[in-house]
Structure 1
Amino acid sequence: MAISRRNFLLGSSAVAVSCASPLFGHAQSIPAPQGEVVLAGGYVLSLDPVIGDLPKGDVHIRNGAIVAIAASIAAPGVPRRDMAGRIVMPGFVDTHWHMWNSIARGFGNSRLGPFAKSMGALSRVWTPEASALSVRLACAEAVQSGITTVNNWAHNIKARDFADAEVEAQKASGLRGRFSYGYPQPIGKAVMMDLDGIEIMRNEEFTEKTRGLLSLGLCVRGPDRCEPVAWRGEWAAAREFKLPITSHIASDRAAAAMGGILTLHREGMLGPDVLLVHATHASPSDLRLLAETKSPLSISPWTELEVGYGLPPLAQMMDARVPMSLSVDNMVLAGNADMFGVMRVTADLAAGMAEKQGALSDRMALQWATMGGAEALGLGKIVGSLTVGKRADLIAVRMDSLNTSPVKNVDFLLTHAARPNDVDFVMIDGVVHKESGRHSRIDVPALLAESADMIRRLRIQADI
């Protein structure tokens, strides 16, 4: 699509949504939050500094909102769900997930070469149907893993139909989050992304009445991945549209040497609305600039290790007090959407690099995976902790599994012992998505069969 001259010169409640077209197959309507329930007798890990932890407590939910948290709640006539033997806690928030390529799990290397070459070949034959199916698969895995909010980093938008496909699938999932409208993979370094399409989508799909649990943002390449005419124009357009920005930065040594963080700071382009990703080779002075401007950072340690970026400078990030969050990044490299594993590798890398046990506490890793993520996406007043008045996005994790029992303390259990299969219950905005350890809204076998068939056909077309 053409970029308008104007843009070139710039250099709370859930709604029912459905996917009726064949593109989305088994997607279903999302019901509005219903009635009341008390989640009773679980270990309540609120991550709210006032409420703290309740070794045995109740959480009262009404119409999708948390209305009370206490050791015991008397609510005559209100249904009660027994949460004994479970940790009731906020759902995880993933701040950087390339959902469009989820069906390409494991294709980070092929006969064509490593990640960039393999995915480059696949991206050229990718279709809107493949993107929609990937988002459906990613959202299903998010629910399985206890991730209730996602930032869909959509950086293979070849045309508007690709964006429409991802948005419709993401809305139909019932997850909370952001759709970060991106650029096509083969875009030139001096070419701006489809800013007209973004403006149209903002005005049509993301009004107060149409956005549901999903908000709109931009994922852009930034100063170490494209020419100034492109990133300056995209940044300016995002600010004009009043949309949040996310960008990879300082991922490897060569990128960091280009001084992108300092450039953004000098041009007044950092701030709470700018979520930067990786910063694996950011300098201490770069990190201080992020802290000073309250620019949040998302790290994905598994993929940063796997793609060869290196080790995130966790001690310096903590010392600078950068607002931190965590992500799984992509299934091509990460393999699975296990936020428990992400927390573990984050805490253990910090200890190993500092040569000090507990350099990053288990509780801090939990904070980064929940409230830190919510704040990074501008949702800190809505989700991220179990707080009266916030929306009911929460999970329950079993404490009596073979791998979680006996329990010494819940922080260690969650960051080092638990796995996605231990997530017994998932609720998003008051709607139950998983109970008794099973998806309640998704035909998983059918979704997996569709995914396997789609990637088989794309692999043949890409000849990889």
Structure 2
Amino acid sequence: MASTLISGGVVIDTSPEPTVIGTADVLVKDGRIAAVGKGLVVEEGTEVIDATGRLVLPGFVDTHRHTWQAGLHGALIDDTLPGYLERVVGGFARRFRPEDVYAGTLAGALECLDSGITTLVDWSHIQHTPDHTDANLEALRASGIRAVFGYAYGGDGGNDGRRAEATRVRGAVNGLVSMAMAAFGPEFGDLEGSLNEWQVARELDVPVTAHMGGHGAENAERGLAFLEQHGVADHPTTYVHANYYTDEHFKRIADHGGTVSVSPVTETELVIGYPITGRARAAGIPASLSGDSVITGGADMFAMMRAAYMLERVRPDGAGLGFTTRDVLRMATIEGAQVAGLGDVVGSLTPGKQADLVLLRTDSLNVAPAHDAIAAATLFADTSAVDTVMVAGRVVKRDGRLVDHDLQTVLENLTTSAAHITAA
């Protein structure tokens, strides 16, 4: 792979903490970050991307998104979680064919890339058949995004069926796509099946991501205790919507090495509870951001960062006033990478890491002049600022436009699929 020099941008690194390096260059070789500094000397034939007037930072990481729902933007507004479970999980989802999974997942992954999200944990509970699963994987690969495929078994083969199909999926992931077990867990699934989810994840050496802690205080305690009683709580697990856990619960989760994924937009829209950003981080738990679902509202990282920042800052008695724009940027990048199990791969500009990068414009009325680069990236920029996106050293968005995809065809297929899914 040819080398690329990103030249003259305002560089923001995120490890060990978000820091504005200033005007500098980023050199990419063989898909990895080779060097960061001023006036880097490059070999002949290196592509040069002029980043003047741009912010250069690691790509964003979304640690929990039901990507297959991309064709259902705004299909459930002004409702709550029970409404989502009834209308979407119990209704629309039943109508999805493999081609609908492909159309939604491809469009959803491209929506992520278009907004600067380079790594996605695709929490996919639409696996009715192996054909649905294969369509999901094919769409992730076709998109060009880095993805952790969160596989949620949807067949009727019980524990043996789950183990066999999860094993097949584990053997099918490669390249930019890896795997996690998306567990229905003890708060949604039957207890025997829930235990099997963690056991299979351990057998396959993949992490678990589960909706736990967001369904009432009693369920939160019962579910966590179940994992502890059966000796699986120490397996790498991300707790999604963990809003009903107490500070004591978070200490236990931290002791087990767990992580959390916060969906500040949908958690407030669907009344799942108050986001636990600060409380989880205070316990030493890596916390990340999640777009969750576009069914209820916008799911771009800029919306998530602003929501998380504002909701944390307004906590009662000033409890969240120590939370800063640097904290929320860390959640959107390196901390998100850690939650996704990719902290050694992406999330910062550390030489040797994969070159997943985003360039943000600062020459717009809503950003300029960018007095504080981190504030510009977290509180002022929006999706229109995303100028260039790179995944593993390959440019997937250039000059504000996605490359390698016929977006008109993608949108036509998505619209056709949505019409089928929502037909009365």
User: TM-score by structure 2 length?
Assistant: 0.94
Partner of 1:148: 118
- The whole-number CA distance in structure 2 between the counterparts of 1:182 and 1:257 is 20
- The whole-number CA distance in structure 1 between the counterparts of 2:303 and 2:322 is 17
- The whole-number CA distance in structure 2 between the counterparts of 1:193 and 1:282 is 32
The one-letter code matched in structure 2 to 1:444 is L
- The whole-number CA distance in structure 2 between the counterparts of 1:106 and 1:87 is 31
The one-letter code matched in structure 2 to 1:285 is E
- The whole-number CA distance in structure 2 between the counterparts of 1:248 and 1:97 is 12
- The whole-number CA distance in structure 1 between the counterparts of 2:114 and 2:47 is 24
CA contact (8 A) 2:6 2:49 kept: yes
Partner of 1:104: 72
1:75-86 matched pairs, under 5 angstroms: 75-77=42-44, 78-86=46-54
Distance 1:178 1:452, change over 3 A: same
- 1:340 alignment partner, one of 302, 308, 316: 302
The one-letter code matched in structure 2 to 1:349 is L
CA contact (8 A) 2:202 2:235 kept: no
1:376-455 matched pairs, under 5 angstroms: 376-455=339-418
Task: Give how far 1:227 is off.
Answer: 2.2
- The whole-number CA distance in structure 2 between the counterparts of 1:419 and 1:315 is 24
- 1:116 alignment partner, one of 79, 85, 102: 85
CA contact (8 A) 1:265 1:289 kept: no
Structure 2 counterpart SS, 1:333 = coil
Task: Give how far 1:110 is off.
Answer: 10
CA contact (8 A) 1:148 1:393 kept: yes
CA contact (8 A) 1:109 1:115 kept: no
Task: Give how far 1:212 is off.
Answer: 1.0
Stretch moving more, 65-74 or 314-323: 314-323
Task: Give how far 1:340 is off.
Answer: 1.1
Distance 1:110 1:88, change over 3 A: closer
Does 2:10 align with 1:43?
Answer: yes
Partner of 2:140: 170
Task: Give how far 1:257 is off.
Answer: 4.9
| RMSD, matched Cα | 2.1
Partner of 2:29: 62
Q: Deviations over 1:261-314 (max 9, x none)?
A: 233233332236211111011111111111112211101011111111121233
- The whole-number CA distance in structure 2 between the counterparts of 1:284 and 1:305 is 20
Partner of 1:129: 99
Task: Give how far 1:341 is off.
Answer: 1.2
Partner of 1:15: none
Task: Give how far 1:259 is off.
Answer: 2.3
Partner of 2:57: 89
The one-letter code matched in structure 2 to 1:196 is A
CA contact (8 A) 1:297 1:325 kept: yes
Distance 1:222 1:82, change over 3 A: same
CA contact (8 A) 1:249 1:255 kept: no
Number of residue pairs matched by the alignment:
419
- The whole-number CA distance in structure 2 between the counterparts of 1:415 and 1:126 is 35
- 2:281 alignment partner, one of 294, 303, 318: 318
CA contact (8 A) 2:346 2:354 kept: yes
Partner of 1:3: none
Q: Deviations over 1:9-35 (max 9, x none)?
A: xxxxxxxxxxxxxxxxxxxxxxxxx30
Structure 1 counterpart SS, 2:10 = strand
- The whole-number CA distance in structure 2 between the counterparts of 1:428 and 1:217 is 20
The one-letter code matched in structure 2 to 1:106 is G
Distance 1:365 1:51, change over 3 A: closer
Q: Deviations over 1:99-124 (max 9, x none)?
A: 1121111122599x922222121111
- 2:270 alignment partner, one of 293, 307, 310: 307
Distance 1:342 1:51, change over 3 A: closer
Partner of 1:181: 151
CA contact (8 A) 1:192 1:234 kept: no
Task: Give how far 1:256 is off.
Answer: 3.5
Task: Give how far 1:181 is off.
Answer: 0.9
1:192-211 matched pairs, under 5 angstroms: 194-203=162-171, 205-206=172-173, 211=174
Does 2:253 align with 1:290?
Answer: yes
Task: Give how far 1:254 is off.
Answer: 5.5
The one-letter code matched in structure 1 to 2:95 is V
Task: Give how far 1:348 is off.
Answer: 0.8
Structure 2 counterpart SS, 1:80 = strand
Q: Deviations over 1:146-170 (max 9, x none)?
A: 0000011111211111110000110
- The whole-number CA distance in structure 2 between the counterparts of 1:161 and 1:200 is 12
- Segments of 5+ residues of structure 1 without an aligned counterpart are 1-33
- The whole-number CA distance in structure 2 between the counterparts of 1:386 and 1:430 is 12
Partner of 2:237: 274
The one-letter code matched in structure 2 to 1:341 is A
Structure 2 counterpart SS, 1:280 = coil
- Segments of 5+ residues of structure 2 without an aligned counterpart are none
Task: Give how far 1:384 is off.
Answer: 0.4
Sequence identity (%): 31
CA contact (8 A) 1:433 1:441 kept: yes
Stretch moving more, 297-306 or 254-263: 254-263
Partner of 1:5: none
Stretch moving more, 420-429 or 441-450: 441-450
The one-letter code matched in structure 1 to 2:192 is V
- The whole-number CA distance in structure 1 between the counterparts of 2:128 and 2:343 is 32
The one-letter code matched in structure 1 to 2:199 is A
The one-letter code matched in structure 1 to 2:101 is S
Q: Deviations over 1:339-383 (max 9, x none)?
A: 011011111111111453743111010011111111112211110
